[in-house]
Amino acid sequence: MKYPKLFSPCHIGNVEIPNRVVVTPMGTGLSDAIGNPTPEYIAYVQERAKGGLGLFITEVVGIDEDYGRSAPRQLMATRYEHVNPWRRLADAVHMYGGKLFAQLQHPGRHTNPDFNPTGIAVAPSAITGFKVDIAPRVLTEEEIKGLVKKFAFGAKLLQMAGVDGVDLHGAHRYLIHQFFSPMINDRTDAYGGSFENRMRFVAEIIAEIRETCGPAFPISVRISATEDYPGGYELDEGVRIAQYLEGLGVDAINVSNGIPEVGYKIQEPPTYPEGWKIGNAREIRKHVKIPVIAVSQIRTPSYAESLVADGSTDFVGITRGHLADPAWCNKAKSGNEMDIRPCVSCLYCFAEIVEFKGIRCATNPQAGRELELASPAPTGGGRNVAIIGAGPAGLEAARLFAQRGFKPVVFERTGVLGGMLHAANKLLDKYRIDWLVANLIYQTQKAGVEFRMNTTPSLAELKALDPAMVVVATGSKPIEVPFPGSNGANVHTVTEYLEGNLQFSGKKIAVIGGGTTGCEVAEKLAIEGKNDVTVVEMREDVGLDMFPIPRRDFMFRMDELKIHRMVNTKLETITAKGITCEDLPTGKKAEVPFDAVIMSLGYQPDNNITQMVKDNFDNVRVIGDAVKVRKIAEALYEGHAAAYSLA
């Protein structure tokens, strides 16, 4: 075994967890309308249990049907009819030796009134929440006592179903945390004011669960070690909370960080390195004797092993890592790290959840579709498949075709595999894209895929294969708009810059186009050459195609770097001295001086070969950017779906 510390057992209370790897809570949107785990959710969890994890902690489980729903489809533990579906989930995890905890939660002021029959939110104090711009109604002491009972009843239902323990959500400014935080708890009764009073609600919940479920039923509590926000509490208070919880008899501390106002410090985008907040868990572990669970963008087995080995934490949360590859544990345990499909921290998963869609993963097309895309039968029988293009869509198709017993032949017009991912990984903080490219190449080569590099196939070459399917995965090419002056010596493309052909230092530069690529190129120019950069965009703002949390993070960095924005602005001409442009709301025109102009007008499908293929072959699939320019998620899904579809 390559990672002996990571894969050693450890107890939480009286429950032995077979290893130190935990899938911590993450929303999936896969429950049914009344809060039962659906077959889709059970399949999702079971696939990760099958992959060798130690402990799976579910997403939030509601305990209050009147005021306590966070989403239209949320797991619940409020009725006896929930027990049997939960039992099926517990059995699915236990079948593979893993353990299952459920995270009990009440959103408090972050309740979405649209999803609750009462139409209002309740909280310790009438302070408006970040997510819902409606002041909550203040809970009475009698109502608080009622919620304590509801937490305990939910725990009892889960215990009856065979769930191994519960995790109380006391982080991220949900209800329990709302009592903790002096910033948003201004009560003057027994539940506000002093530290002990602010901890009273969780203390009563823990005591009631012990009374209802017995002393042997494990309880962990998730906390924000710091609120990481002006006026919020710092790490010393997080340590104090953890110590107090230990004194109340909880069995583990699940350490997170932050509040929704700084959501990018809870669900971190790519700019945050692996282990960036591990110091919080390490400090808490110094002050408690019960196990600590740490989350911190932990992606690699070697780093996870080091955290357990050096005593930073007892358990490591590898949650998005398991979304990307359910078999993360088994592959790591066998020393086959190259075969782990990586999480690239893009937060596509979170973007889908905030829109109340089912869970998805950019790098794993099967995530949330475990039943829909169950492992297909190996029916290839050695039949040939032609794939034109070796970007992410083509590589994923080739991998699955080969695993199914087909013989994919991939034609790639360049000398490198990975397509546009090679441009993306030149941007700042995109090194995880290299992990994905390496994984795609490794998996296709391991599967025996044939590559014909520096080749655009002729019709004769394609016909010679007698392919069962031709997959067109030719990707995209830059959009070129012939503005007056666009051929000038001071005008360059994003591709030229990212390929390293251009160097700028201390220059005044205009980036034309404020989509994701233009924004990230502007950041790279501002940091690496200390250039004075302006992004010119026709729409009302820049970065509108980014996922929500990465965009918030980027806009902060943009301000810190003093990158200028000219929005609602139309480029008209480019001169040797700069640009002329029109302010669209007013119609006013201006000349703005720049030393250089970088064109980032987006991409369009590169489908020059598509019609020839369609005219000569019956079974043709066009996938990825060759259909429409989108993101990695769509490319990999369509490649996977193409290979899945062929009988």
Residues carrying an active site annotation: 174
Q: How many residues does the chain have?
A: 647
Return the DSSP state at 31. Answer: B
Whole-angstrom distance, CA of residue 152 vs CA of residue 74? 18
Whole-angstrom distance, CA of residue 603 vs CA of residue 609? 17
Residue 571 in contact with residue 512, Cβ under 8 Å? Answer: yes
**Torsions phi, psi of 146, nearest 5?**
-65, -40
Give residue for tokens 């008209």: 572
Which token pair is 147?
């919620």
Whole-angstrom distance, CA of residue 215 vs CA of residue 88? 25
Residue 254 in contact with residue 24, Cβ under 8 Å? Answer: yes
Whole-angstrom distance, CA of residue 639 vs CA of residue 232? 46
Strands (E), 94-240: 99-105, 122-123, 137-138, 165-170, 219-224
Whole-number Cα distances in Å, 488 to 214, 483, 518, 592: 77, 10, 20, 16
**Torsions phi, psi of 458, nearest 5?**
-85, 165
Give residue for tokens 């070697």: 302
- Our measurement of the distance from residue 209's CA atom to the centroid of its chain's CA atoms, rounded to an integer in Å, reads 32
Least Cα distance to 486 among 591, 644, 392, 599 occurs for: 599
Whole-angstrom distance, CA of residue 472 vs CA of residue 136? 54
